[in-house]
Chains A and B, each alone.
Chain A
Amino acid sequence: MWSSRSHGQRIAALTVIGTAIVLPLVVFVLGPHMPPGKGTPVASSQVTDNTVLLVVMTPFTMFILAYLAYALVVFRAPKGEEIVDGAPMRGHFKSQVAWLATTTAAVLFLAIFGTTELLADNGAGGGGGPNPVAKPSGAVFPVQVIAQQWEFTYRYPTYGGVETATLVLPAGRQIAFHVTSLDAIHSFWAYQLGVKADANPGVDNVAYVRTKNPSTFQIRCAELCGLWHGYMSDTGRVVSAADFATWIAARRRQFAPSMKYLPKYAPSYAPDPTFRAG
């Protein structure tokens, strides 16, 4: 029917056309809706990251889909044809090298890009252990997240170590979450902030994020931690500096009588003795 060359040209044309149509859609329509939204600079750069991944994938996806579609239409055996063999082709060195070169370039680009983003964003909102390699410069606002079965409590070491059941953060500050656990492994996931850090007993897992404007954000436990894992969720708030000052002062007054029963603030706490629970 057609020569190898013209098959190749047609598939290439389909790939180019498909990419030309899909790529703008990915960048301008899908991209802005990629998770986790633009709640914080870290979250925004995750959105960018997700969009870049989609952009890199698009031409490969279009090529494979175009190829499959083309093959299924053009390389089909006519209905009712006796079984006839195709031409015995056992490989094509040039196209194999071309494939290897393009995929290698894409993979190296992604790895380098991801690493740059990771370091530039001080861990990109992910938990980086007790002493993360990339730290924000300047003052940080520490908040301790203490996970236990099946709730989070939050401790503010710069405010006398007061412990609260809700998470409230001042706007426009560089936050350092110190995530730890009292029992099983949990994971502190603040979706709109673009933060996720596992809570391990005995470990101080630090994640950085700079807050923006006053807003609310969803918190869920993202690591299976037992019976009520599915109910381990919370709503946090980012509020203005003034509102935060009022709020934290009220909490310090409210919890003053019970503060003496709390352990001294520490990177982690001795977990409860292992107990048996569902």
Chain B
Amino acid sequence: MKLRRLIGFNLLTAVVLGVVGFYVGWWLGHLVKAESIEYFDDTGQNDIALFVAYFTGVVGFLVGLGFANYPVQRLLGKPPSLREKETAGIGRYFGLCTDHKVVGIQYLIGIGAFIFIGGLNAMLIRFELLRPTHLAWNGNNYLTLVGLHGTMMMGMMTSGILGPFANYFVPLMIGARRMAFPRIEALTFWLLMAAGTILMTALAFGGFPTGWTGYAPLSEQSNMGVDAYIAFFALVGLSMMLLGLNMLVTVITMRAPGLSWSRLPIFVWGTITTSVLMVLAAPVLVSTLFMLALDRTAQTSFFNVQAGGSPYLYENLFWIFGHPEVYVLALPGMGIVLEILPVFARKPLWGYRLAVTGMVGIMLLSFLVWQHHLFVSGINGDLRPFYMLSTELISLPTGFIFVCALGTLWAGRIRLTVPMLFALAWIFNFLVGGLSGVFLSDVPSDVTTHGSFFSMAHFHYTIMGGLLFAFFGAIYYWVPKMTGFELNERLGKIHFWVMFIAFNSTFGPLLVIGFLGMPRRVVTYAGYLQGANEWVSISAFVLGASMLVFLVNLVWTQVFVRTPAAANPWGSKSIEFQLPSPVPVHNFDRIPTFGPDPYPYGGIEGTRPVVVPARPTA
């Protein structure tokens, strides 16, 4: 039994088959190389082989995990084995598991690890910028760090909240026992793990100098590291599409009886609107990258000017994906914050319908603003007033979210727990992020701020100050529920305060440095900016250190101390806190019924939910 477990379908076999697959593909790719690939003999580069190798590697990895078992067994007319439905043991975290709660925890650890790597890259970038001239990394290594940091963060954070928390809690919140497509749910996670590994292999192929945007024609000239970038982002796109689809189908079809749309917790609304963006935007990304890969391998010329292509085409396609993408990063954070505020203000969510309208409004408008990334590109000057208007209009639905957050605090009984601190910090950070965004939306102002450290600091305020703070808020709020073990509050507060202060001390000055004329993604800068950059770098190192406080907290409390968490430590009225910690495998003994208000703080309008708790499992 032990041996069967070791060589069965799990992470170990997956890694072995993945590596074998990679080398088989590499070998195959070199077989099909044609003399017509003009650059091959000159440079020793073979993009075809690398793409084939990534493909076969991913297929091997997924087969090794057991994703082929079910379809193959059904194809052969055999009854499917139920290995993937195992309900106990640590082993199910290291393989294909269809329990949405296991997948949520897998996501938290797996994505967390890659985000940590992305953060380390940021530390190395800030180290180089301690000096205005060359300090530690050569030009190529510096740009590779920039690219790895940006791409890793963008790719992993898209599922940063939906992956762990929506997978875990949306089925609970809608009174379901599973997701609509449990195998697809698991697939989205393992695709991301394969993708993250592939991105790291860019280092072995010379890195890539394109940043996370991969603009052609730079990405078409550059070395084989770009292939890793393409493969990574395409897999992330695939994972996003499937995750979004799964979430949408789950929420639409699997809500408990009586749980109408207006009774859904706001986090579920954040999930739905994000999912719509994922389903509609990610295919554009995947197709764009496919075109880029064809340009690099099959000598097509979608983006190649000499042969009739256009770099504008890439820029437009990328941002048609890319702008919804940044709201994929914003909406889940809003959902989390509006979910946490009522619990610790002891108030119903103020303006529930306004908040939903805000989320849906952001979702719709986010498809109409992409050319604000191209205000000075010269693509079509006449359209700039329209994109200026549509971009500034997004601040209206975003304003709804703010006013709902503030209204919820009104006359509340606020308790500054760790999750609440992170939620309140979100309001502050996202405010700065939103206001700095106004400068970028205004064309005359954008002439200076575009492509500068200002725009970089702006989106760090919205994504790191917004999404990552919400992410940590969700961790402190929900992880005890997920694992059944408490987190340490004192360490949590240290983590919060160091992170909050260091974050603002890092990115606040960066707004100013951008205003003063420092472009993004440069390895050298004007000497008079050195003092400011040193300040920023040191703040960034402190910010990095705050993550270590969190790691210590997580490992210490979850692995060593393991104090059992109470079922409802926060006095939350949300359904997941009416269940035991951790939530039992089958979620509910009986499907719960739901009252009219998801946030019945202060009573009235019926108490919710009327839950029949599951029996705690031993």
Contacts and interface: CB of A to CB of B under 8 A. Distances in A.
B379 A224 contact: no
A95 B526 contact: no
B221 A226 contact: yes
A123 B348 CA distance: 48
Interface residues of B, number: 106
B348 A88 contact: yes
Contacts of B142: 230
A91 B403 CA distance: 10
Nearest to B45: A276
A19 B218 CA distance: 47
Contact of A90 (B222, B350, B415): B350
B451 interface: yes
Contact of B445 (A46, A205, A273): A46
A185 B311 contact: yes
Contact of B43 (A90, A179, A183, A276): A276
A24 interface: no
Contacts of B209: 224, 226-227, 229, 278
B431 A226 contact: no
A83 B571 contact: yes
Interface stretch (A60-68, A160-168, A251-259): A60-68
Interface stretch (B19-27, B266-274, B477-485, B596-604): B596-604
A60, A230, A233: most-surrounded residue (chain B CB, <10 A): A230
Nearest to B512: A35
Given A107-B392, A132-B381, A87 B521 contact: no
Contact of B378 (A206, A275, A278): A206
B528 to A, nearest CB: 11
Contacts of A277: 221-222
Nearest to A228: B139
Interface residues of A, number: 98
Nearest to A129: B378
Nearest to A194: B447
A198 B547 CA distance: 38
A36 interface: yes
A96 B315 CA distance: 38
A57 B346 contact: no
A107 B603 contact: no
Interface in A165-186: 179, 183-185
Contact of B215 (A197, A205, A224, A275): A224
A270 interface: yes
A183 B213 CA distance: 17
A210 interface: no
Scoring A7, A81, A91 by chain B CB atoms within 10 A of each residue's CB, the highest score goes to A91
Interface string A71-95: 1100111000101111111111001
Contacts of B407: 89, 91-92, 95
Nearest to A130: B378
B397 to A, nearest CB: 10
A196 B221 contact: no
B519 to A, nearest CB: 5
Contact of B424 (A68, A124, A196): A68
A104 interface: yes
Interface string A125-144: 11111101110000000000
A211 interface: no
A16 interface: no
B402 interface: yes
Interface stretch (B383-391, B532-540, B553-561, B577-585): B383-391
A91 B354 contact: yes
B304 interface: yes
B442 A229 contact: no
Interface in B2-46: 39, 42-43, 45
Interface string B349-373: 1111110000000000000000000
13 contacts: A46-B444, A88-B601, A88-B603, A126-B443, A179-B378, A187-B451, A198-B374, A200-B311, A200-B312, A200-B377, A224-B209, A224-B211, A226-B209
Given A64-B406, A90-B350, A132-B381, 5 more contacts: A35-B515, A226-B143, A226-B218, A229-B209, A278-B140
Closest 5 CB pairs of A and B: A205-B378, A88-B602, A128-B381, A230-B523, A230-B522
Interface of A: 4, 7, 34-36, 45-46, 49-50, 53, 57, 60-61, 64, 67-68, 71-72, 75-77, 81, 83-92, 95-96, 99-100, 103-104, 107, 110-111, 114-115, 117-118, 121, 123-130, 132-134, 179, 183-185, 187, 189, 191, 194-198, 200-203, 205-207, 218, 220-231, 233, 270-271, 273-278
